[in-house]
Amino acid sequence: MKQPVVIYVISDAIGETAQHTIRAVTAQFEFEEQPDIRRHAFIRDEEILLETLEEAKAAGGIVVQTLVSSKLAIFAKNYCEKEKVPNIDLTTDLTLAIESRTGLRSKEDPGNMRRLDSAYFDRIAAIEFAVKYDDCKDPRGLLEADIVLVGVSRTSKTPLSSYLANQNFKVANVPLVPEIPLPEELFKIPAKRIIGLTTTPEKLGRIRKVRLRSMGLDEMSNYSSDRRILEELEYGYETFKTLGCRVIHVEDKAIEETAVLVQEMIQVN
């Protein structure tokens, strides 16, 4: 059996740029075993860089570098040429082209890239928040959320939470079930941060039947019955009125469209 391709990502920042590029390229190949991608971030001196390059050579690896420092980039390039290690430099050529065209000089400050990447870390934190507080697993998260989505089952609360999290919003959601009391925390946050989601009985019935069918369950169960759906939707409207929150009808909207409406509603206040 062939050994997997080993790719060393070497960066003086976090190395995320190279990793995205590698994944885009490797996705075009049918590997017997997926490539072994080894990321070495925050390489800031030649000694550590040399150790990493020697490790890449010993592993028979390919080096993909995003070194902002020209000194380190040249060091890595020279080493790889001498030791016949495949090397792809994702930053130097573009840097030189910009310098040539504009007359400007690169700051060669990997910290700049890291500051730009702060949005990435914020997004990851928001995604983790959405997962942690999905379906009101921990009602304390409602107090920290930028947006709280409330609605009956299958009104797109979870996918909408995930989409908004990718826009850097901390989102929690609360399922509305007539038999389950609302968490106390829901009444401690401003109504302007709460968005109700609803739909038509017909649409909800179709979605629930498909959901039950996909799980191998009886699609004619109480969960998808007309009586139960009307009961839940009515309870939803009563809850929205009690909370004083705005409401979005999701039946004819894509997740992206609903997300835009949510953001507009939140920003108005």
Whether residue 97 has pLDDT greater than 80: yes
Query: For the segment 202-216, what is each residue's pLDDT rounded down to a tens digit?
Result: 999 999 998 888 888
Q: Residues 2-21: what's their mean pLDDT? A: 86
In a shared domain, residues 109 and 136: no
Is 82 marked as binding a ligand? no
Is 100 marked as binding a ligand? no
C-alpha distances in Å from residue 144, one per residue of 97, 155, 195, 246, 269: 45, 23, 15, 19, 17
Predicted confidence at residue 112, as pLDDT, reads 66
In a shared domain, residues 83 and 142: no
Query: For the segment 142-184, what is each residue's pLDDT rounded down to a tens digit?
Result: 999 999 999 999 999 999 999 999 899 999 999 999 999 999 9
Residue identified by tokens 């997962």 is 131
Q: Kindly state whether residue 1 falls inside one of the protein's structural domains.
A: no
Residue identified by tokens 């995205």 is 20
Predicted confidence at residue 1, as pLDDT, reads 42
Q: Virtual CA dihedral for 204, 209, 212, 218, nearest 10 degrees? A: 140
Is 111 marked as binding a ligand? no
CATH number at residue 24: 3.40.50
In a shared domain, residues 25 and 132: no
Is 153 marked as binding a ligand? yes
Q: Kindly state whether residue 190 falls inside one of the protein's structural domains.
A: yes
DSSP, residue by residue, 123-169: HHHHHHHHHHTGGGSSGGGGGT-SEEEEESTTSSHHHHHHHHHTTT-
Query: For the segment 98-134, what is each residue's pLDDT rounded down to a tens digit?
Result: 999 999 999 888 766 555 566 778 888 999 999 999 9
Identify the domain boundary among 116, 146, 163: 116
Q: Kindly state whether residue 54 falls inside one of the protein's structural domains.
A: yes
In a shared domain, residues 225 and 152: yes
In a shared domain, residues 84 and 214: no
Using CB atoms within 10 Å of the CB of residue 6, give its burial: 0 to 12 exposed, 13 to 18 middle, 19+ buried: middle
In a shared domain, residues 184 and 63: no
Is 5 marked as binding a ligand? no
Strand partners of residue 87: 63
Q: Kindly state whether residue 164 falls inside one of the protein's structural domains.
A: yes
Q: Residues 70-83: what's their mean pLDDT? A: 96
In a shared domain, residues 76 and 159: no
In a shared domain, residues 204 and 81: no
Q: State how many domains the chain has.
A: 2
Identify the domain boundary among 82, 116, 150: 116
This model's pTM is above 0.75:
no
Q: Kindly state whether residue 202 falls inside one of the protein's structural domains.
A: yes
Q: Kindly state whether residue 159 falls inside one of the protein's structural domains.
A: yes
Identify the domain boundary among 116, 142, 166: 116
Q: Contact 192/243 with Cβ under 8 angstroms?
A: no
In a shared domain, residues 28 and 135: no
Range of the domain at 236: 123-268
Q: Kindly state whether residue 158 falls inside one of the protein's structural domains.
A: yes
Is 152 marked as binding a ligand? yes
Query: For the segment 219-231, what is each residue's pLDDT rounded down to a tens digit?
Result: 888 999 999 999 9
In a shared domain, residues 168 and 46: no
Is 92 marked as binding a ligand? no
In a shared domain, residues 15 and 42: yes
In a shared domain, residues 147 and 264: yes
Q: Residues 85-99: what's their mean pLDDT? A: 94
Is 84 marked as binding a ligand? no
Query: For the segment 30-70, what is each residue's pLDDT rounded down to a tens digit?
Result: 888 889 999 998 899 999 999 999 999 999 999 999 999 99
